[in-house]
Structure 1
Amino acid sequence: MLDDGEQSRKISPLWLRERTQAPDQLEPMTQQRLFDSHAIDVALTLESATWIDESHAALAFSDGHRETYDLRLLASELNDNATFPSPEPWDASLNQDQVRFDWQRIQEDQAYFRASLDAYLRYGYIVLYRVPTDPEHILQVGGYYGYVKETNFGRYFEVYSRPSGNDLAYRSVALGPHTDNPYRNPVPGIQLLHCLVNETTGGLSTLVDSLKVLEQLRHETPEGYALLKTIPVRFRFVDAGTELISHRTMIQTDDEGHPTGVHYSPRLDALPLLPDDQVRLFHRARQRLGQLFSDPAYEVRFALHAGELMLFDNSRVLHGRTSYETNEGLRHLQGCYLDTDGPRERFASLMKHRDSIEEVA
């Protein structure tokens, strides 16, 4: 039996044997195995277990391996996400001071940088201010938080009004809440938008937390919610030189079926071919999802000023924009994408560094 802090569990000998902590079985720095765990005898048994103290036990296995295990390390295996802050769904009432950070200070203060990563992991977005507006500075910020992902739009892309642009983002029209590139595989995990110039009164940025909206959708229509979670739809992008198509569910989930975000773009998706009654149920759920995404009760809306940059989870947090008048002045943003795991890697590294300092102290 193993106590992980919440409940005791009966553990398979195979699970225990694979998680050896012995230095001749596990490389200390990388924690990679020095043996082939797939070759362990499927009939392996635990021959004896002797308590050493409340945190250690001596185990002997039928393959001859004997070892004293640190039970605290085994317990941590049962909750390997404990290192990271849990997502906190939010609505329009979210205090924006909790997600705003000074870029200049981030580069000088590791604890402050860690706080910005903590906020991102909790809320799915942050806004940085005092970001220099020189071209391509967005790539420096992106590299600080993760790994820049190049797409057909380039390492970064320009967002300003261009009548011949290959996406509606390059027009001055309003953009409803959406996620970017659902037609791509993999979908870009994180998006950055950096404002270089904003001389207009319109063009307000909008953000919506899909985790909060999905709570309401699941409550209102569990059957429709289930369809959006399990039935793939087609997403398609076409321009003069590119055509990209993917099929994926509108609601994104983790391995346990819990929602982590959405793939949502009414400009790019297509209803799946189902029996008529299911198509209608699917469409009603999709329609209600769009209504909730546009509900002011769930939306934060703000002007992104020159020198400000928003960084957001492209699946969890939908973004949009109000329309603006090009004759008022220039509105110029730059954008780029990051892989999903960057902020988690940075956060884990800073936590290890902090723990090392505390051990020395």
Structure 2
Amino acid sequence: MNTAAAVADFRSYPLISALTTVQSLADRVLVKWADGRVSPFHHQWLRDNCPCPVCVYTVTREQVLEIVDVAEDLSPAVTQVDALGCLSIAWLDGHTSRFDPGWLRAHAYDDESRIERRAGKPKSQRWNSQLTLPVFEYQAVMDDPNVLLQWLLALRDIGLTQVRGIPTEPGSLTSIAKRISFIRESNFGVLFNVQSKADADSNAYTAFNLPLHSDLPTRELQPGLQFLHCLVNDADGGESIFVDGFAIADALRQEDPEAFRALCEIPVEFRNKDRHSDYRCLAPIIALDALGQVSEIRMANFLRGPFDASVEQMPKLYRAYRRFIAMTRETCFRHMTRLNPGEMWCFDNRRTLHARNAFDPASGARHFQGCYIDRDELLSRILVLQR
């Protein structure tokens, strides 16, 4: 069940355990739950998170109060569990705050609650050459919000999916991409055409093989999702290859911690230059999140500038860089298959490295269309669909 009291959010919070008692201390209150857990809440935190209409604008559900406008030594006059099971606090300055127990439990910061909350967060699923590829049907994704959600969860957790049954008219990709959010435009356009051409401004627009890479590592923020939709694929060759960059980074961390650390700490410059633009970004190949987990891989050898590291670091960087690339070539990590007309890859561009075997343009036409959407839009869409 969900508790009935209003909270300053668009989500609902299940009543995991009822509040039983509350005890006031000098700078905090101690809340005891029916399941025996005890959660401390500092006065500053409680006042900062008051959900009342004075502190939060009810239309946007965004905070109006700034904690600096409240006395630093504020304290409650009365604390109690009210008749509806909510934590009610009457402050000495005359303000009253009332906290929904479902919301309060979801945001409790005692050690047990924080560990529990972290354990409940989505976890990416590492994969290798034995991946069972998540495949979805275009019409179902377009028509059924539940199928859409399952597709997006696979994108979030696995980082590589395929959608089949898409019309092969140019521009058809736009409709399914917009089921997630707006498309991120780049210097290659809103939609870009992947086909061999004489005046190519990227190796992607040739018949060469492309080594495993992420797109646009030359940007401060690499695109989160990449879509590649096959319109025609009659040429010999051109198979798609994917590896889970997170799985390779984890394997390197276990095998050679010093090499892993070098790729996390020594920045590399990536460059994307043509006749009309010049993009450059200096960043490590492996990025970690606030908890020390791998959150991003930035890699494209054909878009890399000369290494600029100290004399002491240069041998370490080359050893680590060579090992990482060598691991991407190991068959145990590589998922390879051919994309057929009407099929589309959609993958996490900041995790899943992709490659293409060389193809023979004289043997037939090969035309893919692609686009990008940022990872934030994926995560937002999932949360909205879930609530």
Identity value in percent: 27
Query: Kindly tell me: are residues 167 and 50 of structure 1, through their superposed partners in 2, closer, same or farther at Cα, counting changes over 3 Å?
Result: same
Amino acid at match of 1:115: Q
- Alignment partner of 1:143 is 2:173: no
CA distance 1:58–1:38, change in 2 (3 Å): same
CA contact (8 A) 2:47 2:97 kept: no
Structure 1 residue matching 2:179: 3-state secondary structure: helix
Q: Out of 373, 377, 380, which is 1:342 matched to? A: 377
Contact 2:266–2:309 (CA<8 Å) still a contact in 1? no
Residues 83-162 of structure 1 mapped to structure 2, 5 A cutoff: 85-96=122-133, 99-162=134-197
TM-superposition CA deviations, 1:227-247 (whole Å, max 9, x none): 221232211111111111111
Q: State the alpha-carbon separation in 2 of the partners of residues 206 and 19 from structure 1.
A: 48
- Indicate if the aligned counterparts of 2:209 and 2:357 stay in contact, CA closer than 8 A: yes
Higher RCO (C-alpha 8 Å, min separation 6): 1
Correspondences of 1:205-354 after superposition (within 5 Å): 205-270=240-305, 272-352=307-387
Distance in structure 1 (CA, Å) of the matches to 2:59 and 2:184: 29
Answer whether contact 2:242 2:354 (CA < 8 A) is retained: yes
Report if aligned partners of 2:48, 2:66 keep a CA contact under 8 Å in 1.
no
Shift of 1:288: 1.1
Do the aligned partners of residues 61 and 209 (structure 1) sit closer, same or farther apart at CA in structure 2, a change above 3 Å counting? Answer: farther
Match of 1:202 among 223, 226, 237: 237
Contact 1:197–1:305 (CA under 8 A) maintained in structure 2: yes
Cα drift, residue 48 of structure 1: 5.2
Structure 2 CA distance for aligned equivalents of residues 226 and 54 of structure 1: 53
Separation in structure 2 between the aligned mates of residue 117 and residue 162 of structure 1, nearest angstrom? 33
Unaligned ranges ≥5, structure 2:
1-29, 109-113
Q: Could you say which structure has the larger radius of gyration?
A: 2
Q: Residue 105 of structure 2 aligns with which residue?
A: 75
Q: Which amino acid aligns with 1:324?
A: F
Matched residue SS, 1:194? strand
The residue aligned with 2:221 is: 186
Residue type of the alignment partner of 2:263: L
Cα distance in 2 for partners of 1:95, 1:55 equals 47
Give the whole-Å Cα distance in 2 for the aligned partners of 1:287 and 1:50.
Answer: 63
CA contact (8 A) 1:84 1:121 kept: no
The CA distance in 2 between the partners of 1:14 and 1:341, in whole Å, is: 30
Corresponding position of 2:202? 167
C-alpha spacing 1:195/1:11, structure 2 compared with 1 (3 Å): same
Normalising by structure 1, what TM-score? 0.88
Alignment equivalent of 1:30, drawn from 60, 64, 87: 60
Q: Return closer, same or farther for 1:230/1:56 CA change in 2, 3 Å cut-off.
A: farther
More displaced 10-residue stretch of structure 1: 83-92 or 234-243:
83-92
Identify the match of residue 48 of structure 2 among 18, 21, 24.
Answer: 18
Deviation track 1:175-216 (CA, whole Å, cap 9, x = no partner) reads 111001111233222111110000124111111111111111
RMSD: 2.6
C-alpha distance in structure 2 between counterparts of 1:109 and 1:229, whole Å:
41
- Please state how far the C-alpha of 1:8 moved relative to its aligned partner: 5.9
